[in-house]
Amino acid sequence: MELQDLYGLMDRFAASGLTALEWEHEGERVALKKEQTVIGTVPAVAAVPAPAPQEKEDRGDLVTAPLVGVFYAAPAPGEAPFAAPGDQVKKGAALCLIEAMKMMSEVPAPADCVVEEVLAKDGEAVGYGAPLFRIRRV
């Protein structure tokens, strides 16, 4: 392999999404690897438009996602959800978990309330400001 060819291969590798490449031809072997710094992984999130201002939101009837991540309704798989429709919840009690970058964050109830509806699906990605629960303050 000519030096010019090697440089071309290195440039294409650097511009690609690959993290490793091994190539062998007629006794010549080239191995390229990119070092990665992994801070955490976040699932791809579909764009979720911010909810349009509504009268119900002004009264605080929606609990929205405080961050981008994966919505979990229960503390662990197979366990009962933190809050289900019809449940009366005290202010500050956990309504759900959102996982972002391998960190679990509780979403607390903003006030004493009754959960009217769970708007997010367990295990699915949610965007910042996405509606999670519809509540009725008590």
**One pLDDT digit (tens) per residue for the chain, 138 residues:** 677 777 777 778 777 777 787 878 788 888 888 775 555 555 555 555 555 554 444 445 899 999 999 999 999 999 999 999 999 999 999 999 999 988 999 999 999 999 999 999 999 999 999 999 999 998
In a domain, 48, yes or no: no
CATH of the domain at 93: 2.40.50.100
In a domain, 46, yes or no: no
Same domain, 17 and 60: no
Same domain, 97 and 133: yes
pLDDT at 61: 83
Query: Which range of residues forms the domain containing residue 24?
Result: 3-33
In a domain, 67, yes or no: yes
Tell which phi-psi region holds residue 32, choosing left (phi > 0), alpha (psi between -120 and 50) or beta: beta
In a domain, 15, yes or no: yes
In a domain, 27, yes or no: yes
Q: What's the one-letter identity of residue 50?
A: A
Same domain, 64 and 8: no
pLDDT at 31: 82
In a domain, 41, yes or no: no
- Residue 116 CA: distances (Å) to CA of 51, 85, 119: 18, 5, 10
Structural domain tally of the chain?
2
